[in-house]
Amino acid sequence: MAKELGLDKDGQQKHLHPIDYLTDSLGQFALNANGQLTGQLTYFYTTKMGMASGTVGTVLLVSKIFDAVSDLFMGKIVDKTNTKDGKARPWLLRMVIPAFLACVLLFTVPASWGSLRYVYALVTSVFASAIVYTAIAVPYYTMMSFKTKSSEEKGKMGTWRAAVGYAIGVACGIGIIPITTALGDDQAAWIKFGLILGVLSAICLFITYKFSREIYHDEGEMAQKEAQVSIVEGLKILIGNKYWIKITLVGVAMNIVYGIALIAPLYYGLIILGNPGFYSTVNTVNIFPSVLGFLTVGFWIKRFGLTGTAKWASVIGIAGCVIRTLMPMNSIVFLAANCLIMYATIPLISVLPAMTLNTAEANMEQHGVRITGMTNASNSFVGKLGGGVGGSLIGWVLGAGGFDAFNAGTIGLTDGLKQAVFALNNYIPLAAFIIIFLLLFRYKFEEMLPAILKANAEREKKAAE
């Protein structure tokens, strides 16, 4: 028999045991495997399939347009779902086979199709990202709210999920080239690699479905009322929710930092140090602050709450950026300060999903509906938007600095190039961390949440009578 759990510091009943956190976090494997594979498409299409890089870029840009609008529609679908398995949980089972197919189909573009290869690439990219990824991500993150009302438990779930996501990201980043090379370094090798990740994704997703249970979600008249809210009405509710707006902006800024922090050090090594191998050193060193972040974020959440944890993390990030700005040419200082920056990102990615979900209670307080699915769709959307902006900023800033990838070794270290690299590694992350801190400086919603939860529970009780 499972050990009885008590109340959290806000007086909310706790429900989750270590096995619940573990099985829940495995769902993140499918998301990050999908994301890692779609992130490698430009390299695969151009180097293994001989497709034109400019056309490939256009194809991926078009797929992002579909991707950008899919989250909100999936959020609405989740809000309207009502089965014996719950509202969000059934989608994990429904996506088991599609998750497998998405990982494989990305690399099966027919070599003999000529220009039609680009159409095939567009269709499979849209299927993997705008359909499969979204149809997993939105219900998966929404389910957090249906499992518990405890902010402490939501924070722990976010930490476990972030840790699994980080692990698969590091494993793919380190292993994808050596493994595909060992398998033959051709299209068939990439298909085999996708097959492996597809099988693992399907298994992990099924385990998460099997061991999850939804305890809290609207039923009866309340569920019918929520299902009747249109996408336009839902958008109006969300835009009028100042807490949701703030956390969504925090999410965009955080994902810009995270996206840039993973790639920008490559150009520091290449341009400033003349040593592209420095990037491997950065990634190796990054493991330590990241692991430390996952080990300590539970203490931060318990001691300072979700908002306090995010604020302190932004302060640490600001400190890291300022230190690098003071001594921008020193590689040792770069590595040391980068540890602070990477450490700061871990608490932020851990608490953001829970902070977003909590804002659904403000919808309930003001409008009588939570629209949890639509509220939570921002967790997926901000990742795509922030990552996309971060990736675009790298290209734009380097281009403005005069960087030419094909002649990188002959340009020389111009002032424009130096400033472009410093902007990517120091100034832009610093600005983003400052924005996060300012957005959260007077953010009091977490302090108000216990009273709001109590009032909403009484409203629901009266509606059910």
Q: What is the pLDDT of residue 436?
A: 96
Question: Would 252 be classed as within a structural domain?
Answer: yes
Say if 64 falls within a structural domain. yes
**pTM of this prediction?**
0.76
| Residue 421 identity (one-letter amino acid) | V
Both 157 and 68 in one domain: the answer is yes
Together in a domain, 281 and 423: yes
pLDDT the model gives residue 461: 76
Residue 179 lies in a domain: yes
Last residue of a domain, one of 182, 217, 252: 217
What pLDDT does 302 receive?
87
* Coil vs helix vs strand at 6: coil
Percent of the chain with pLDDT over 70: 92
Residue 418 lies in a domain: yes
CATH number at residue 351: 1.20.1250.20
Asked if residue 392 belongs to a domain, the reply is yes
User: Is residue 211 domain-shared with residue 305, that is, in the same domain?
Assistant: no
Which structural domain, as residue segments, surrounds residue 77? 14-217
Q: Are residues 201 and 252 in the same domain?
A: no
Average pLDDT over residues 162-183: 84
The answer to the question of residue 206 being in a domain is: yes
- Does 426 lie in the same domain as 352? yes
Question: Do 198 and 89 reside in the same domain of the chain?
Answer: yes
Q: How many domains does the chain divide into?
A: 2
CB atoms within 10 A of CB 362: 23
* Residue 342 parent element (H or E): helix 331-358
> 295 and 329 share a domain?
yes
Instruction: Please report which confidence band the pLDDT of residue 13 belongs to, taking 50, 70 and 90 as the band edges.
Output: confident
- Where does a domain end: 177, 199, 217? 217
| 150 and 189 together in one domain | yes
Are 192 and 261 contained in the same domain?
Answer: no
The answer to whether position 420 is within a domain reads yes
What pLDDT sits at residue 220?
55
3-state secondary structure of 265: helix
Q: For 382-439, what is each residue's pLDDT tens digit?
A: 777 776 677 667 777 877 888 765 455 444 578 888 898 999 999 999 999 999 999 9
What confidence tier does 259 reach under pLDDT thresholds 50, 70, 90?
Answer: confident
Q: Is residue 6 part of a domain?
A: no
Same domain for 144 and 261, yes or no, is no
Among 217, 248, 272, which residue terminates a domain? 217
Considering the domain architecture, whether residues 192 and 246 belong to the same structural domain is answered as: no
> Which pLDDT belongs to residue 152?
85
**Residue 413 near residue 271, CB atoms below 8 Å:** yes
Q: What's the pLDDT tens digit per position in 316-355?
A: 999 999 999 999 999 999 999 999 999 999 999 889 988 9
Give pairs for 37-45: CB < 8 Å, separation 24+. 37/103, 37/106, 37/128, 37/172, 37/194, 37/197, 38/106, 38/125, 38/128, 38/129, 38/133, 40/176, 41/106, 41/121, 41/125, 44/106, 44/107, 44/190, 45/109, 45/121
> Residues 432, 284: one domain?
yes
- Mean pLDDT of the chain, nearest integer: 86
